[in-house]
Amino acid sequence: MNENEKTLEILRKVQNGKLSAEKALTQLKVLPFKNLGYANIDYHRSLRQGACETIYGQSKTCEQICGIASDMISRGLNNIIVTRISKDKTTYLIKKKIKLKYYPVANLAVVNPKEIKNKKGSIAIVSGGTSDMPVCEEAALTAETLGSRVTRLYDVGVAGIHRLLSCSETLASARVVVAVAGMEGALASVAGGLVSCPVIAVPTSVGYGANFKGVAALLSMLNSCANGVSVVNIDNGFGAGVIADRINKMESAK
């Protein structure tokens, strides 16, 4: 029995009164997935989580990314995020007639893009320095592709804290702040002390030797004395963007 037949069987049971709508919803949440041999595509992730599966491009071959993306497009999916993808791989996809938008700073592509006209809420993404922009853009583009409204405040680190303070009004109106910084990672604590909304701290691998490729910033952010600061992994802009989007779209969002 294929996935369509399974879904139809569930719906017929509801129609015939043999299955409650609530139990049917539970069953639909775990169906179906498509086995391509090298990947199992989860086609009900959008039902469970509100967005379709993301493709992690790093370490996958051009052919694997193309196969996954093609199958997802065939199911009518839009705005498929492909993270950590190189220019060479996007060139291959374009040659294979895969429609996409590529963002080189973030090494991120959106396959089968569809414009979202009414983005919701307000996410502010702040960076310690310009060198943190690749991680910032990964977070920003992820949140925007998922439907959130994003404001970028870049190069406002603590070495010139007046730059961050000049953005106080924007920060105060945000529903979520994503603070992205390398070096010693102090930006997250400062941002956390300025706002009442949640702050998602993203340590980056930017920094000199004792930065230990982001470990110093990670430990600093984990030990933040400011309230309401949570931390994701080093350089994990995508993870921060997803979390920020979910917080931003909570039922209390205006």
Do 161 and 84 belong to one domain?
no
Do 124 and 243 belong to one domain?
yes
Give tens-digit pLDDT for 171-186. 999 999 999 999 999 9
Pairwise CA distance, residues 154 & 165, whole Å: 13
DSSP 167: T
Overall domain count for the chain: 2
Average pLDDT of the residues in 109-133: 95
What size, in residues, is the chain? Answer: 254
Do 151 and 170 belong to one domain?
yes
pTM of the model: 0.87
Q: Sorting pLDDT into bands at 50, 70 and 90, what band is 252?
A: low
- Tell me, yes or no, whether 26 lies in a domain: no
Do 91 and 189 belong to one domain?
no
Do 124 and 96 belong to one domain?
no
96, 68 contact by CB (below 8 A): no
Amino acid code (one letter) for 223: N
Q: Which of 65, 82, 111 is the endpoint of a domain? A: 111
Q: Which of 67, 92, 111 is the endpoint of a domain? A: 111
Do 128 and 209 belong to one domain?
yes
- Tell me, yes or no, whether 254 lies in a domain: no
Give tens-digit pLDDT for 194-250. 999 999 999 999 999 999 999 999 999 999 999 999 999 999 999 999 999 999 998
Say yes or no to pLDDT of 253 above 60.
no
Q: Which of 81, 111, 141 is the endpoint of a domain? A: 111
Q: Sorting pLDDT into bands at 50, 70 and 90, what band is 102?
A: very high
CA 214 to each of CA 146, 187, 220: distance values in angstroms, whole numbers, following the listed order: 27, 14, 10
CATH code at position 180: 3.40.50.1970
Domain holding 163, by residue range, is 120-248
**Distance in angstroms between the alpha carbons of the first and the last residue of the chain:** 44
Which residue from 208, 211, 227 is spatially nearest to 219, judged by alpha carbons? Answer: 211
- Tell me, yes or no, whether 212 lies in a domain: yes
> How much is the pLDDT for 216?
97
Q: Sorting pLDDT into bands at 50, 70 and 90, what band is 2?
A: very low
- Tell me, yes or no, whether 80 lies in a domain: yes
DSSP 206: -
